[in-house]
Amino acid sequence: MSDLFHQLGIDWRLLIAQGVNFFLILAALTFLVWRPLLALLAERRQRIEFGLAGAAEAERRLAAIEEERTAKLLEADAAAAEIIGKAEGEGKHRAQEILAVAMKKSDEVARQAAQTLERQRLASLDAVSREAQGIIRAAIAKTVELDPKAVDEALIRRALESR
Q: 3-class SS at 147?
A: coil
3-state secondary structure of 1: coil
The answer to whether 93 and 101 are in contact (CB under 8 A) is no
Q: What string of DSSP letters covers 8-32?
A: HT--HHHHHHHHHHHHHHHHHHIII
**Given a cut of 60, is residue 86 above it in pLDDT?**
yes
Q: What is the pLDDT of residues 135-145, one digit of tens each?
A: 887 777 677 65
Per domain, the residue ranges of the chain are 2-162
Note the pTM of the prediction, 2 decimals. Answer: 0.40
The pLDDT tens digits for 106-139 are 999 999 999 999 999 999 998 998 888 888 877 7
Sequence-ordered list of residues with C-beta below 8 angstroms from that of 133, at least 6 positions apart, any chain: 156, 160
**Cα–Cα distance, 102 to 110 (Å, whole number):** 12
Q: For position 123, what pLDDT does the model report?
A: 93
Contacts of residue 81, defined as CB under 8 A and 6 or more positions apart, other chains included, come to: none
